[in-house]
Structure 1
Amino acid sequence: MRALRIPSPLLPGCALGLVIVLLLRGCADGGDGPPRAGAPSAGGDARPRAGAPAPVPALWPPPRVVRDDRGSVAIGRTVAVRTGDTTDPAALDTVVAALRAGGARDIRVGDEPRSGELLVVTDGTTAGLAAGSPRGLPRGGYVLAAGHTGGGPRVVLAGADRTGTFHAAQTFAQLVRPVGSAAARTTLPAVRVRDWPATAARGVVEGFYGTPWTHGERLAQLDFAARFKLNTYVYTPKDDPYLRARWREPYPAARLTGLRELARRAEARHVSFVYALSPGPSVCYSSAADRAALLRKFRQLWQAGVRAYAVPLDDIDITRWNCPADGAAYGSGRAAVARAQADLLNHVRRAFLAPRPEAAPLLTVPTEYDGTRAGPYKTALAAALDAGVTVMWTGPLVVSPTLRTGQARAAARHYAHPVVIWDNYPVNDYTPGTLLLGPYTGRDPGVPGVVAGVTANAMNQAAASLPALFSLAAYAWHPQAHRPAAALDAGLRFLAAGDRRALTALRAFADLNHASRLDPAPAPRLAALIEAYRRGGPGAEDALREHLTVLASARDTVPRALRGSAAPWLDAAHDWARAALAAVALRDGTDTRARVRALREAARGHTVTDWQGRVRTVEVGAGVLDAFVARALDGP
């Protein structure tokens, strides 16, 4: 294969992708099944270069096995890259971009290395670095090794399939530029990684009520998902009129163009873009015309490149039919509704998806989508629904404070179909006055292993959702290593992108918006500072003032991506922090009650309008900041 030279500056992404397609010999999907129980780490010696070792950074999601070989590998100005059947344009683009960031200026794809030059191998082989084979790993699994052989410095990326190699490329990119780092590194650690996901589907649901994300936010979300090994994006915003209220109508050309771009971006990033049509509020299950309308809509999306579909039947009135014909056809009661829904879903699967072997299995959200007990609806649905349909479940409750392994097993048993968790965190459409920036916690490490996937419903505020989604990615990939607080902080560091001032502001702002149904503790860091201040500990007042000053300036120091959709909460944090600072000054005798009251009224005045048109007060640090100010005003 003739070498492709990629000089500096790097070719535009689209041009590079076209050239790479010509270079690659093909693609191969499919691993050889799950690893053996207790899969060992790679053995042998990688023979790292003598000298000071480069530290292995924290990798996200945390890999299964990481062996630090206590050495280093210099990237250098010239690099050779070897590709193969499991290398696709997205993986190669990621590798080349990381090498460029690490100082490479002359990157030759398809060439052999010169003397002493780094060779990056992405053709599926791991010879020379004792990294082990990816054979036997689940789909998406991979091995990665960096070290030295007799032939010189090497980095090998080998996936169980193309997606695995893509995941290896993302880990390689983090070795070059760790999460939260301001700059890339020119020297890599000598390391061996063996890694695989805990569950097949891991991803994001855009399924909230209210203002949907913008097209740009969706594209950014797909890029984020790919970077941290999430592989599913369920498109089902409740306020897309063509998805729910006007589901029978085809998409206008302009809207369809946007969906086409999302489907293409997702495919290029190894993310399954699931289009979820919600006919439940008005569908007549027994109507041939309605079934035909549903398939016409799906055919329109198929032509736009969508290959994964869902038919959610959630949030509808299960006590009445939308048409008299359904009562005549199915009778009455919850079991009758389940049979009607199964008929519709089976029709979609048999008439639309079965003739299209490249289509993903059908997803549905049943009307009874939570709980751990069986009943007439779940029993009838389980009996009537085709085996090729996957059911989404929110846990024991609609918003579940905890998810236990036994509860997930019970759900799979009652639905008698594969279950994907639709976790309603960090979604906040039911509490629109609050942002939910606390940790993703309360989920047993065994849950991902007994379900077909774990997804999370995000907030209306796309950028503010990222810390929780980052944490979800860590949990769904390697739940045994999940540490909620550490994962949340890493998500904040990702957002800060190396800006220390922004990270300080993010940490204070996230603490202020910590409370949720998963972890109800309000502003724990701030609460501790206030308690120390009340007790008069040494330096307590200075520490509290410093924290409040950070909060007061957060709207100007957090990353720009957060300043738009989170503006009401940043403004409220600004005013409440100023009121609290004035309360501290009041105790010192350097401010007045009148000014504290005026600042408190300003802080109370921030509002947002929810998806039903109701005005809601913005809450930040509720029960902590407001209580602190009130106590100062009520004091002597």
Structure 2
Amino acid sequence: MQINKNSVPFLGVIEGFFGRSWSWEDRKNYAQFLALNKYNFYIYAPKSDKNLRMDWQQDWSAKTKEELINLRQFYRSANVDFGIGLSPHEIYLSDSRDQRAQLNQRIEQINQLAPDILCILFDDMRGDIPQLAQIQTDIAHQAAAISNAKKIIFCPTYYSFDPVLEKVFGTMPENYWQTFAQQLDKSIDIFWTGEKVCSAQYSAEHLAQVTELIGRKPFLWDNYPVNDGAVKSNLLQLRAFDQSHSQLADKVAGHAVNPMNQPWLSQIPLASLPLAYCEQTHYSASSAFTQICNNLCGAELAEQLQRDIYQLQDLGLKKLTQEERQNLRATYRQFHNNPYAQEILAWLNDEYQFDPACLTE
């Protein structure tokens, strides 16, 4: 695949979903997958890692830290940037010096991994706090001053125009986004999910509006193909990225994709995004889906996936009859040890349960 680098933004994957986590082996495998598909970075930020969220003040166990150091080396060897996403859960509810000192200590611990990217993430937290943007800006600046990462990306509590965020996390303070435009260091990028938490498309008009609002081009946090929500946990989102994604390169600071709980099946849509950016107006999502399925899964399974895509991605588990489930199980058992088929079987057997901690979709 010949890629015009000017047509592709800083592109990567953020493991940032709720529910069943990837294994360490899955994460290591992604180093080569991302490198082969011209992705630039991987960010470790699973919601299940308590030492990045609810227990953010505490360092990882020696075993987990060893796994992370190992993982960092895999990405370094593949020439793919490695990142860590820290969510200092509701640190702004306490103005104690202890909290800020603990943040310094935690960033120093993360520095031991020598990440290329550090994300400071305030998503999925209460937001109806006076002066919230100023407090979050101060925290981001504090973390950036201590971090040895070459890139800092910040996620606000309100990262979309989607009204569900205020419904779940409280009324957004006045001039919230405008404060970041005025006060947040311009070298710090800001994550944005689009008009919705899970946006299918990103119009040029919307991205221009957001650029003006936050004082820099948004860094897309793309919630496709992620399937951790109450509705989408019933689906396998396998289709290629929409053709509109081919026109985003000059409108964004970067593009991070949040994948599914299923690492192997996530590769199918993920492999299409660099194609969209590369081929631009010549890109066809349906052709890309066919081509990628054949390349990754083999011709026989690729043909089966195309036959079953409506049941897998549109109908979903809750709407499948028991007979339809049984038929699909019998079909995908025929592919024996194929990892893509194995994940479909696990999904059919309800092994990817919805995590109620996921409050938005």
Shorter-chain TM-score tier: 0.7 to 0.9
**Counterpart of 1:361?**
151
Shift of 1:474: 1.8
Mind listing any 5+ residue stretches in structure 1 that lack a counterpart? 1-58, 65-194, 321-331, 516-521, 524-547, 572-605, 615-636
Change (3 A) 1:549 1:310: closer
Q: Secondary structure at the match of 2:246?
A: coil
In structure 2, what is the equivalent of residue 288 of structure 1? 97
Q: Which amino acid aligns with 2:84?
A: Y
1:570 Cα offset (Å): 4.9
User: Aligned match of 1:274 in 80, 83, 96?
Assistant: 83
TM superposition score normalised by structure 1: 0.50
Match of 1:463 in 2: 264
Does residue 312 of structure 2 align to residue 513 of structure 1? yes
User: 1:489 & 1:227 partners in 2: Cα distance?
Assistant: 18
Q: What's the CA shift for 1:476?
A: 3.8
Structure 1 stretch displaced more, 365-374 or 429-438: 365-374
Cα gap change, 1:613/1:418 in structure 2, threshold over 3 Å: closer, same or farther? Answer: closer
Supply the distance in 2 between the matched residues of 1:608 and 1:212 (Cα, whole angstroms). 10
Paired position in structure 1 for 2:355: 611
SS of the residue 1:275 aligns to: strand
Contact in 2 for aligned 1:242/1:248 (Cα 8 Å): yes
SS in structure 2 at match of 1:487? helix
Q: % of aligned pairs identical? A: 24
1:112-261 matches, within 5 Å, as 195-261=4-70
Which of residues 100, 107, 110 is equivalent to 1:298?
A: 107
C-alpha separation between the residues in 1 aligned to 2:162 and 2:206? 6
Task: Give the structure with higher Rg (CA).
Answer: 1
- How far, CA to CA, are the matches of 2:279 and 2:26 in structure 1? 27
Q: Which residue of the partner structure matches residue 246 of structure 2?
A: 445
Cα gap change, 1:343 to 1:463, in 2 (>3 Å): same
> Please, which of 249, 263, 277 is the counterpart of residue 72 of structure 2?
263
Distance 1:368 1:479, change over 3 A: farther
Distance 2:193 2:132 in 1: 20
Q: Pairwise mapping of residues 366-515 of structure 1 onto structure 2 (< 5 A)?
A: 366-371=156-161, 376-430=175-229, 431-441=232-242, 443-496=244-297, 499-515=298-314
Q: Give, as a single letter, the amino acid of the residue that structure 1 aligns with 2:222.
A: D
Q: Which moved more, 1:378-387 or 1:252-261?
A: 378-387
- How many residues align? The count is 338
* Matched residue type, 2:154: T
How much does 1:229 deviate?
A: 0.2
Question: Partner of 1:345 in structure 2?
Answer: 140
Q: CA deviation at 1:319?
A: 1.7
TM-score (norm. length: structure 2): 0.85
Q: Is the 8 A contact 1:285 1:340 kept in 2?
A: no
> Cα offset for 1:483?
1.6
Q: CA deviation at 1:478?
A: 4.5
Question: CA separation of 1:310/1:297 partners in 2, compared to 1, >3 Å: closer, same or farther?
Answer: same
Residues 24-62 of structure 1, C-alpha deviations (whole Å, 9 max, x = no match): xxxxxxxxxxxxxxxxxxxxxxxxxxxxxxxxxxx3xxx
Q: Is the 8 A contact 1:554 1:570 kept in 2?
A: no
Deviation at 1:424, TM superposition (A): 0.5
5+ residue gaps in structure 2?
164-171, 317-325
Q: Secondary structure at the match of 1:439?
A: coil
Larger helix proportion of the pair: 2
SS of structure 2 residue aligned to 1:233: strand
Larger RCO (CA within 8 A; separation ≥ 6): 2
CA distance in 2, matches of 1:503, 1:211: 25
Query: What is the Cα deviation at residue 558 of structure 1?
Result: 7.2
Cα distance, 1:346–1:256 mapped onto 2, change above 3 Å: same
Q: Distance in 1 between matches of 2:12 and 2:137?
A: 25
Distance in 1, matches of 2:24 and 2:351, equals 25
What root-mean-square deviation, in Å, do the aligned CA atoms of Structure 1 and Structure 2 show? 2.7
Give the CA deviation at 1:305.
2.8
Structure 1, residues 507-553: CA drift from partner, whole Å, max 9, x if none?
A: 323343233xxxxxx69xxxxxxxxxxxxxxxxxxxxxxxx989842
Q: Residue 205 of structure 1 contacts residue 458 of structure 1 at CA under 8 Å; is this kept in 2?
A: yes
**Alpha-carbon deviation of 1:313?**
0.6
> How far apart, in 1, do the equivalents of 2:282 and 2:221 lie?
21
* Alpha-carbon distance in structure 2 between the residues aligned to 1:613 and 1:287: 27
Shift of 1:456: 1.1
Is contact 1:438–1:513 with CA below 8 Å preserved after alignment?
no
Displacement of 1:433: 1.8
